[in-house]
Amino acid sequence: MLTHLIEYPGRTAMLNATNLSLANGRTVSFSATAGRPLAVAGISGSGKTLLLRSLADLDPARGTVNLDGVSRDAVSAPDWRARVAYVPAEPGWWAPTLRDHLPDSSSDGLAALGLAEALLDAPIDRLSTGERQRAALLRAMTRRPRALLLDEPTGPLDPATTTAVEAVLRDWPGILVLVSHDPGQPDRLGAERLSL
């Protein structure tokens, strides 16, 4: 799978949030460790995306967030985001093709996520929503962050492709926090649950 792309040495990663106050007024505390995904659940508007964006230091939030004992406030925002990667439900692109966004070593990752290598040179705006979502996941993984924050990583996918993506996520050696409206996905990933 993608193991050779995402392996990294070091102790088991841990992400902690303590009294994290989101913009919608909710306060959240939790711990997530590598090898044990955390699935965030709640009705639309409950703050799931706000939580992920706050953890990635993209939105302001009072409270404490630590990764491996290092506070989010102790490092620069770009350095934090290199360690804690956020993949939104609608990922952004700043260059015309996938090849511009992915390292040369990502061809195995393409196959694992059900993406054809020919897509590397296709214009981003010609890719389907599901292809862009999987490519954004691969882009984040190849940067080797300690934690992945995924907002609806399989929302636009058919069941077979969802199964392939979930296989990749189960192999992810770092921290995985995801939002999903698929009620069976947390169980298939062996995830703990956090309700908002």
Pairs from 168-172 (Cβ < 8 Å, separation ≥ 24): 168/1, 168/2, 168/109, 168/112, 168/113, 168/137, 168/141, 169/37, 171/1, 171/2, 171/3, 172/2, 172/6, 172/141, 172/148
**Whether pLDDT at 1 is above 50:** no
Supply the pLDDT for residue 134: 92
- 153-195 pLDDT, tens per residue? 998 899 999 999 999 999 889 999 999 988 999 999 999 999 8
Give the whole-angstrom CA distance, residue 51 versus residue 54: 5
Give the whole-angstrom CA distance, residue 70 versus residue 31: 14
Query: pTM for the full model?
Result: 0.90
- 33-47 pLDDT, tens per residue? 998 999 999 888 889
Report the percentage of the chain scoring pLDDT > 90: 60
Give the whole-angstrom CA distance, residue 69 versus residue 154: 31
Give the whole-angstrom CA distance, residue 4 versus residue 106: 10
Domains with residue ranges and CATH for the chain: 3-195 (3.40.50.300)
The single-letter DSSP state of residue 26 is -
Supply the pLDDT for residue 105: 66
